Amino acid sequence: MSAAETLAQPLVTLAFCWRIERRDGVTIGLTSHDRDLEIGGLLYRAAPGMTPGAVRSGIGMEGEDSDIAGALTSDAISERDLMAGRWDGAALELRLTQWEAPGDLWLLLARGEIGAVARTGAAFTAELIGAAALGEPVAPSTSPDCRATLGDGKCRVDMAGRRRIVTVAGVEDARVAASGLAPGVYAFGTLRWLTGANAGMCQAVADNDADGLTLADPPGFAVEAGTLALLTQGCDRQLATCAARFGNAVNFRGEPYLPGMDLLTRYPGA
């Protein structure tokens, strides 16, 4: 029976199902039904407090955004994890099924990433940012800086040997103490916590010296001495760095010598 035929019946037993996959790979399932449902090998736990906002479906060039609301629970989505950003950017799917026959009807209502999160008391609301692939530019805009990400398919720099696991001696605000680092090579890179309360979370590195590094933001949770973290080198996206440090100028994705809009305002002798 098709979805249209199922929904056209005089009596249906419908339940919403959310599949949420965090950036660190942790995946949970939640359902608006009052009992747990197992669908496709994933257990969708009962979360009657979860409710979607208005969901619209149509044909257009831009993705649709929506909202979801729910209760903060210690075993599913905790306040600490939510406020620390552990769920930011998580991939989310909202589907409709029948709780009497879970999975037979598996209608996709919305798909996207979790955006802005707001908390009110013991509840939260999160923005679901819809995919907008058709709204992407056909050709990239020009820029003096490289538009690729270090090590991706456009950059092609081999990242083997450009990552290392460090033992953190301590953290004060956004300053992370770790010895034996090559100065500057981890600036604009990332730090991924491997152990401790922040395990799985990834943070941007602003700069580093031989004795430690500075994060763009302080860690969400306290960090104990001896915590392990994975450091990945970064790049300032400048042609000089690409050529001298990586020997990769042939793959530089920028136009450093292209005249800018100020060319129109120049005059002789300026």
Give per-residue pLDDT as tens, 63-72.
Answer: 455 666 666 5
pLDDT of residue 177: 96
d(CA 207, CA 140): 28
Any bridge partners for residue 77, and if so which?
Answer: none
**What letter does residue 133 receive in the DSSP assignment?**
G
d(CA 253, CA 3): 46
CB-hemisphere CA count at 13 Å for 170?
2
pLDDT of residue 62: 47
CB 93 within 8 A of CB 19: yes
pLDDT of residue 59: 43
Residue ranges matching CATH 2.40.10 in the chain:
163-232
Write the Ramachandran bin of 216: left for phi over 0, alpha for psi from -120 to 50, otherwise beta: alpha
List of the chain residues with pLDDT < 50: 57-63, 133
What's the alpha-carbon Rg for the chain, to the nearest Å? 24
Instruction: Tell me the CATH architecture of domain 163-232.
Output: Beta Barrel (2.40)
65: tokens are 């955004």
Residues 6+ apart with CB under 8 A from 130: 62, 63, 64, 65, 66, 110, 111, 112
Residue ranges matching CATH 2.30.110 in the chain:
3-132
Q: Is 135 helix (H, G, I), strand (E, B) or coil?
A: helix
3-132 is classed CATH 1.10.3470: no
Of 163, 178, 175, the closest CA to residue 225 belongs to 178
pLDDT of residue 41: 92
d(CA 253, CA 42): 41
d(CA 210, CA 186): 11
pLDDT of residue 61: 42
Q: Per this entry, what is the length of the chain?
A: 270
pLDDT of residue 48: 65
257: tokens are 């010598």
How do residues 132-180 score in pLDDT, each as one tens digit?
A: 545 566 677 888 999 999 999 999 999 999 999 999 999 999 999 999 9
